[in-house]
Chain A
Amino acid sequence: MHDLDALRGEFQAELAAAATVADLDLLDRRWVKARKGELFGGVKTLPVEERKAYGQRLNELFNAITADLAGRRTALAEQALARDLHDPRFDATLPGVRRERGSFHPIDLVQHHLERVFQGMGFHVLDYPELELEAYNFEGLNIPKDHPARDMQDTFWVDPAHGKGLLLRTHTSAGQVRAMHELTPPFRAVFPGRVYRMEAVDASHEHTFHQLEGLMIDKDVSVANLISSMKTLLSTIFEREVTIRLRPGYFPFVEPGFELDLKCMVCGGSGCSVCKQSGWVELLPCGLVHPNVLKAGGLDPDQWSGWAFGLGLSRLVMMKYQLDDIRLLLGSDLRFLSQFSDVL
């Protein structure tokens, strides 16, 4: 007959050597699954009067083995858990696994933000041609031929062999008459986009840049309305209270016309290099729409009036991100472009 105590001892020794769950599974197979049947089967070979006692002792043995295995499993599991909970090799601050991260163009970021701001205030967002008819860019805006504003130096004209009276629009104002034809008054609309001027390119001048035009047409629109609307718009755009002032400015398509200045947000008005010591930053031209422009748009100036402004979008982008060179905007330097990781 087997020496059950010796078996017990053998098992204990193997159990002590078992280090992993796999080891325990092996022990389980060898001791419980394999030998249990063999050992219990051996009971039959015993004399009848010894069978009961031996059988009982076998039961005790295997109960103990089963319990020990279970206990050991639990202990190992707890150790594994403890190791997992206090693993010193795990550095939570290591760089994550990244996919390639894209970026928006700064002009698109600002333009999109402005479009949403204006839409929230009930403005339509429109988009007008860049290669434009002279009539919309000049005559319709009360700028007849021979006007100094039409100097050949400033406008890109298409070769007359390719088309007569075609130019690259010099301002988004070219869309004002189109908007008046397209929309039924009263209305408010903005139309941003590229504009083109024949300029030598340097750190603060580009031949291709962006503007955003605003137009509001209603009955009895006044300068006071313009002041209030511009203050609201600018406060929303800059996300803070702004102080503005209107200076007389001359533009053929508005009367009265103004230059709108913003109290310098860098020095608070006391004077600095950004505002050239004046305390004010010249921001945008605006005014009440000239009756001739209303007429060109098919509206009766005695019935309808409006205000308009032209915002230098590229300049706003330069101000917002403190850019020191406008050429970055339409340039190809990925080190610059990839910085704009904001969400649209």
Chain B
Amino acid sequence: MHISWNWLGRHVDLTGVDPFSLIGRFTMAVAEVEGVEAKGDALGAVVAGRVLEVRPHPASDKLKVARVATGREVVEVVCGAPNCHVGGTYPLALPGVVLPAFTVEAVPLRGVVSQGVLCSERDLGLTDDHAGLLVLGQVAPGTPLPDLLPVRDVLFEIDNKSVTHRPDLWGHRGMAREVGVLLDRPLKPMTWAPEFTGDDPLDVQTECPDLCPRYTAARYRCAPASRSPFWLRVLLERAGVRAISDLVDLTNFVMLDLGNPVHAFDARLVRGNRIRIRRASAGEHLTTLDGIERALLPDDCVIADGEGGVALAGVMGGLNSGIADDTTDVVLEAANFHPGTVRRTSLRLGLRTEASARFEKSLDPNLAHEAQLAFGALLAELKPGARATSRLYDVDHAPKRVVRIFVPTGLIEKKLGTPLPEGFARKVLTGLGFGVEPTLDGKMVTVPTWRATKDVSIKEDIVEEVGRFFGYDNIPGATPAIQVREPQFRWLTEARWATTRALVLDAGMTQLQTYSFASNGLLARLGVTTSDAFGLANPISSDLTHLRTALAPNLLGVVADNCRATDAVRAFEIGRVFLDTRDAEGLPAQPHHVGLVTWRRDGDDQVYFELKGVLEGLFEHLRVRVDWTPGLAKDAAPYLHPSKSARLSAGGRPVGWIALLHPRAAEAIKLGQGRVVLAELDLPTLADLWQRRWSYARLPRFPGVRYEISAIVPFAVTHAELEREIRASAGADLRGVRFLGRFMGAPIPEGHTSMSYEMLFGRDERTLTDDEANAVAARVIAHLKATLGASLREA
């Protein structure tokens, strides 16, 4: 919002104060000043010029040539304005003067040299009025313009977001109060005292005092609309509001001055001279001032006359009741409306106005009354003969609570952490309008009504009032007393970092983060049809409507995005997925998963074993013994290969899975060449199974004996089974077994492979004899034959 320095001067004495010196302190104490603009500095060079003579321009019907006295000389000026009259005094800008739109030069206009410019308000950058020259009245030629009119000003641009919590700062008076405290100068008291006597009828009643805590109205009579005086138009312009005509301008002025919106009805259109404040009826419609018909709900507050709605309370007036250029009989509403109601109505209809923006911030109901008085007083000042023609109707249901806060001695200094000068807190608080009464053990602070609607209610709020004017920069830092306590380790967090490090530094993979949303388009292409995922009521797009239940699809998306530009993608993500099970609090389970993917352009099924190797390394780092079961669970995702895959478990608990991408899925996401393998693990389970305590394996003192076997088995027999049976049958004499490789094809029978292992036999207490080693080997071989139908390959 724009705050005008001159306008502030109506409420607090600013003589001798440089506005620029206040910017820093204002920002630090009140609200953020985003920008400061000096207006009209260049206009010091514009002077009053009296027209001595006017003659028609030889080459143009629309132009005239005037001889103008500048106080020092007489110059010739070409002028196209309709009101350039002999004897008139207007602003004259001589060559060299910098006007907002151009710099004045002595140039020929249609053949006649113009030695200056006679100016309109728009030429001077004051308002956008360009209907004619600005008339200065009887003043001496050569008088500088700033001496005649308030053309110079300084505008502060305040960030609205920094005052959302201060309903009292949405008008110049409230801002002036703050400036007054900064300058230690008092606020000028409000002395409006118009008379409200008169018999014009007006019947004001409310049916919903909860939606409208206070409603004041009065009737006024005045001359029809005319142009507002210069001072009013220029202040409105500074505040960013276009001047229209005096009545309209006055309502805007009161709003920007006191912060309470007011609304003017044409009394002829307030049918029956009745004002009713009520809820809208179901199905009621109202056409607002912008010409749009609005469908109303019983939650909306409506101002109605004897026959129907005439305004949407607190938001916008109705088209059928607003003032026009010929209005001479006005009903002026200055009211206060329930903030939540105004907000809801405004949001629902998508109708945000200067009025609704203020009412939704919880204005002080007393301000409505002040605004009515201000309007009455200013109207009389502006339009000769204007006066109130009725009583002041004040329907006041606002709760008359007085908010008093007890502030114990020393609290403010304790909370701020610094001593304060004697009397400082009292001076600041009284300057802001708070009442301060000392008690035995502190102060009883009375909160002014304009701060009591929701902003100030507890003693900490008082601390802030004093602190911000003391200046937080003036508080030296004080180290808090530190207690040394046991650090609390969260093993899930530690497991996350350990896993991240292992995958990046050991396995050389790229870590990434993807959205928590699942892409519907991608899931559809991957053949995922059912969804138990959480849907959003207001998703960011129609593609990202649900939360992810797995990391794998997003990882596939990353591969698809990069597969044309690179030959391999090896990446992982650790992040939450969102599952449809609830805990005691009703909160959905949202465990961290570790999702991994590997794609190689020249890759084949081997990529599966490459990623399996990465997982094996990770599990070794975490010391978790994992069992691999071929195939996936029945409810596994359709884009995963049903057989070139495995389920992982440890200690009987599921840990995750690994799988090649189903060929159909690879085609659906257009991966082209290569093969993709995916894996996903549950991090909390891994963190739980992470073994950090273990003892080292003593180094054997006696050498072992190596024994190689090759077992020929049908395809269905897996390495995991063979290894398991080898260990089971070899017993304690087995120090280790190592897979050497496998062989298929002649002379191995069809449907079979030859699996080779190196077994290491040995004892702790002595060396095994060859016979003993052979016996163990024989036992193993017999067992494999018996349990797995293996036959031995002749060496």
Q: List the interface of chain A (C-beta within 8 A of B).
A: 99-105, 107-108, 112, 115, 119, 122, 124-127, 129-133, 146, 148, 151-152, 155-163, 166, 168, 183, 186-187, 194, 196, 198, 201, 207-208, 216, 218, 220-225, 227-229, 231-232, 245-250, 255-259, 288, 290-291, 305, 329-330, 332-335, 337-338, 343-344
Contacts and interface: CB of A to CB of B under 8 A. Distances in A.
B500 A108 contact: yes
A218 B480 CA distance: 9
A288 B488 CA distance: 24
A102 B561 contact: no
Nearest to A111: B497
A283 B668 CA distance: 45
B467 A344 contact: no
Interface string B631-664: 0000000000000000000000000000000000
Interface string B196-228: 000000000000000000000000000000000
Interface in B484-509: 484-485, 487-488, 490, 492-493, 497, 500-501, 503-505, 507-509
Nearest to A343: B505
Contacts of A194: 516, 575-576
17 contacts: A102-B507, A102-B570, A104-B500, A104-B511, A131-B578, A157-B536, A158-B536, A159-B535, A183-B488, A208-B515, A225-B417, A231-B477, A245-B28, A246-B473, A247-B28, A255-B464, A256-B468
B460 A290 contact: yes
Contact of A124 (B488, B509, B571): B488
A224 B482 CA distance: 15
B766 interface: no
Contact of B487 (A124, A221, A330): A124
Contacts of A330: 513-515
Nearest to A218: B480
Contacts of A343: 505
B479 interface: yes
A250 B162 contact: yes
A334 B162 contact: no
A156 B539 contact: yes
Interface residues of B, number: 90
Contacts, number: 229
B84 interface: no
A132 B578 CA distance: 11
B671 to A, nearest CB: 14
Report the 7 A-B pairs with minimum CB-CB distance, sorted nearest first: A224-B417, A222-B417, A228-B477, A256-B464, A102-B504, A246-B472, A100-B508
Given A102-B503, A108-B511, A125-B490, A223 B586 contact: no
Nearest to B339: A146
B66 interface: no
Nearest to A329: B513
B343 A148 contact: yes
Nearest to A229: B480
A272 B726 CA distance: 72
Given A132-B587, A221-B480, A332-B561, A344 B513 contact: no
Contacts of B558: 332, 334
A255 B165 contact: no
Contacts of A207: 540
A131 to B, nearest CB: 5
Given A162-B535, A332-B562, A338-B510, A227 B480 contact: no
B557 to A, nearest CB: 7
Contacts of B718: none
A158 to B, nearest CB: 5
B536 A248 contact: no
B490 A105 contact: no
Contacts of A156: 536, 538-540
B415 interface: yes
Contacts of A159: 534-537
Given A225-B477, A231-B477, A255-B461, 7 more contacts: A100-B508, A122-B484, A124-B488, A168-B516, A187-B485, A248-B28, A258-B472
B458 interface: yes
B529 interface: no
A14 to B, nearest CB: 46
A332 B536 CA distance: 24
A151 B350 CA distance: 13
B468 to A, nearest CB: 5
B461 A245 contact: no
Contacts of B565: 334-335
Nearest to B590: A131
B534 A227 contact: no
A255 B458 contact: yes
B43 interface: no
A225 B347 CA distance: 41
B360 A148 contact: yes
Given A119-B487, A157-B537, A224 B418 contact: yes
Interface in B25-81: 27-32
B135 interface: no
B164 interface: yes
B511 to A, nearest CB: 4
B483 interface: yes
A224 B419 CA distance: 11
A221 B481 CA distance: 9
Residue with the highest number of chain B CB atoms closer than 10 Å, among A119, A152, A225, A247: A247
Contact of A337 (B475, B476, B478, B512): B512
Contacts of B580: 162
B363 to A, nearest CB: 15
Nearest to A183: B488
B416 A222 contact: yes
Given A122-B484, A186-B483, A225-B417, A112 B497 contact: yes
B399 to A, nearest CB: 18
Nearest to A246: B472
B693 interface: no
B415 A288 contact: yes
A130 B516 contact: yes
Interface in B567-582: 568-571, 575-576, 578, 580
Given A127-B493, A255-B458, A291-B460, A223 B475 contact: yes
B516 A161 contact: no
Nearest to A107: B513
B477 A130 contact: no
B692 interface: no
B463 interface: yes
Nearest to A135: B585
B87 interface: no
Given A122-B485, A158-B534, A220-B414, A105 B512 contact: yes
